[in-house]
Amino acid sequence: MIILCGSLISMMYSEVLAYSSPLFGRRTAQIKLQAVSFPYYKEFFLRKTHHELIEMYSLTGGIPKYILSIQEKYLPLENIKKFF
């Protein structure tokens, strides 16, 4: 089993899924992971105020990988300095 992940969609299609690619026709599933919408965002950061949640959402855009990079013990600006 091979699991491929990528965020540059045009590159994924041209290099991995195209007719000329060695993997063409072998894909069995594809999951398009969307950003987490703001109403569900607070479930990741239970101890943050509404204002802090807005700052955190502005920082991550709801992108799951970025959400995992955030540490709740830090303020939004501290997260920016430490991880981005």
Answer whether residue 62 shows pLDDT above 70: yes
In this predicted model, which residue has the larger pLDDT, 20 or 1? 20
Asked if residue 67 lies in contact with residue 60, where contact means CB atoms within 8 angstroms, the answer is yes
What is the per-residue pLDDT for 71? Answer: 80
- Structural domain boundaries enclosing 62: 9-83
Asked if residue 53 lies in contact with residue 42, where contact means CB atoms within 8 angstroms, the answer is yes
What is the per-residue pLDDT for 48? Answer: 86
What is the per-residue pLDDT for 34? Answer: 86
pLDDT level of residue 84 (50, 70, 90 thresholds): low
Residue 2 lies in a domain: no
How many domains would you assign to the chain?
A: 1
Residue 51 lies in a domain: yes
Residue 28 lies in a domain: yes
Distance CA 41, CA 66 (A): 12
Residue-wise DSSP of 32-75: -PPPPPHHHHTTT-TT--HHHHHHHHHHHTT-HHHHHH--TTS-
Residue 31 lies in a domain: yes
Q: Give 10-44 pLDDT, tens digit per residue.
A: 777 787 778 888 878 887 887 788 899 999 988 88
